[in-house]
Amino acid sequence: MGEWRKISGGVTAPKGYKAAGITAGLKASGLPDLALIVSDVDAIAAGVFTTSHVRAACVDYCRQILQVKPSARAILCNSGQANAATGEQGIKDAQESADLLARELGINPESILLASTGVIGQRIKMDALRGGIPKLVAVLSETGSEAASSAIITTDLVTKSIALETTIGDRPVRIGGIAKGSGMIHPNMATMLAFVTCDAAVSPHLWQQMLTRSANKTFNSITVDGDTSTNDSLIALTNGQSRTPAITEMGIEGDKLEGMLTEVCQYLAKAIARDGEGATCLIEVEVIGAHTEVAARQIAKTIAGSSLVKSAIFGRDPNWGRIAGAAGRAGVPFEQDDLSIKLGDFLLFQNGQPVNFDKAAASTYLKQAAEGAYLQDDTVKISVNIGSGNSSGKAWGCDLSYDYVKINAHYTT
pLDDT tens figures, 138-195: 999 999 999 999 999 988 888 999 999 999 988 999 999 999 987 655 545 445 899 9
HSE (CB half, 13 Å, CA atoms) of 239?
A: 25
Q: Which of 12, 155, 159, 191 is catalytic?
A: 191
Find out if CATH 3.30.70.3040 is the number for domain 5-274.
no
Backbone angles phi, psi at 297, to 5 degrees: -65, -35
Binning pLDDT at 50, 70 and 90, where does residue 405 land?
confident
Q: Catalytic annotation on 50?
A: no
* CB-based contacts of 308, cutoff 8 Å, min separation 6: 319, 322, 325, 326
Can you give the pLDDT at residue 289?
A: 98
d(C-alpha 37, C-alpha 23), whole Å:
16
Can you give the pLDDT at residue 192?
A: 82
3 state SS of 187: coil
Q: Specify the amino acid at residue 59.
A: V
59 to 70, 91, 308: CA distances (angstroms): 15, 10, 33
Find out if CATH 3.10.20.340 is the number for domain 282-409.
yes
Question: Could you tell me how many residues make up the chain?
Answer: 413
d(C-alpha 115, C-alpha 403), whole Å:
28
* CB-based contacts of 84, cutoff 8 Å, min separation 6: 54, 55, 56, 57, 90, 116, 120, 121, 230, 231
Give the E-state strand segments of 160-310 in sequence order. 160-168, 171-180, 193-198, 233-238, 282-290
Predicted TM-score of the model (pTM) = 0.89
d(C-alpha 351, C-alpha 335), whole Å:
9
Can you give the pLDDT at residue 285?
A: 97
Domain spans of the chain, in order of start: 5-274, 282-409
